[in-house]
Amino acid sequence: PLQARVKRVLGTIALAEERLSPSELASLLGDTSDSVWGIIDPLRPVLAVPSPDEAHRGIRVIHLSFADFLIDRSRCTDEEFYIHSPIQHTLIALRCLEVMQSLKYNICEIDSEHHRLLNNEILDLSTKIAQHILPALRYACKYWTRHLCRAEIGEDLLMRLEEFCEHHLLHWLEVLSLLGYVDGAIDALQLVQVSLKVSI
């Protein structure tokens, strides 16, 4: 239903770790760009929505107090708009894990003779990253752990997490290395471990 889609889009914009463009938001949520545009366009009074010729720019909440309002049940008493943060983080974490199903070994298709080179020694690496690690996948790899740590841990999320760890953990580390974020991987996984122990 439309109400659920509006809440899902608004909640993701409010709780995302970085600003997402309409197309990135659509990819992350597994939705179409037209559907996302149809939801955000009427919300221009509260959202800074990029114009079609600047569609690569991120959507932002004009007043941060509005995002705070949406996730505060004592202030947002209308169920049509209230965003329950743990449920929204669960949704985002699940979508991140689903997006990361596309991870694979040597995702940037770097020639085998270059495998021993440092990242900064690989010619056109930034071009390869832009071509093979699309923004929604980049977001998922960088932030899935943060969303999971704030999520409601249930059977569906645990199943997705187990599947990810079994098939794509090393592929995720490879992407973090390519993006320059691998240093935070151990801390991120330790936080996930703590969250799971508390929740289960």
What DSSP string describes 67-131? HHHHT-TTT---TTT---HHHHHHHHHHHHHHHGGG--TTTT---GGGTTS-GGGSTTHHHHHHH
Q: Is 187 helix (H, G, I), strand (E, B) or coil?
A: helix
Question: CA-CA distance, 67 to 26, in Å (whole number)?
Answer: 19
Q: Which helix (H) or strand (E) holds 61?
A: strand 60-61
Q: Distance between CA 75 and CA 46 in Å, rounded?
A: 17
Measured CA to CA, the distance from residue 61 to residue 17 in angstroms comes to 13
Q: What is the pLDDT of residue 200?
A: 64
Q: Which residues, in sequence order, are CB contacts of 181 under 8 Å at separation 6+?
A: 141, 142
Task: Report d(CA 38, CA 16) in Å as an integer.
Answer: 20
| Token pair recorded at residue 111 | 């020639």
How confident is the model at residue 114, as a pLDDT?
61
pLDDT at 124: 85
The tens place of each residue's pLDDT in the chain, 200 residues long, gives: 788 888 999 999 999 999 999 999 999 999 999 999 999 999 888 899 988 777 688 998 988 888 888 899 899 888 878 999 999 999 999 999 999 999 999 999 887 766 677 777 787 889 999 999 999 999 999 999 999 999 999 999 999 999 999 999 999 999 999 999 999 999 999 999 998 888 76
pLDDT for res 26: 96
CB 47 within 8 A of CB 61: yes
Paired tokens of 192: 């996930």
Give CA–CA dist 115/139, Å, rounded.
Answer: 25
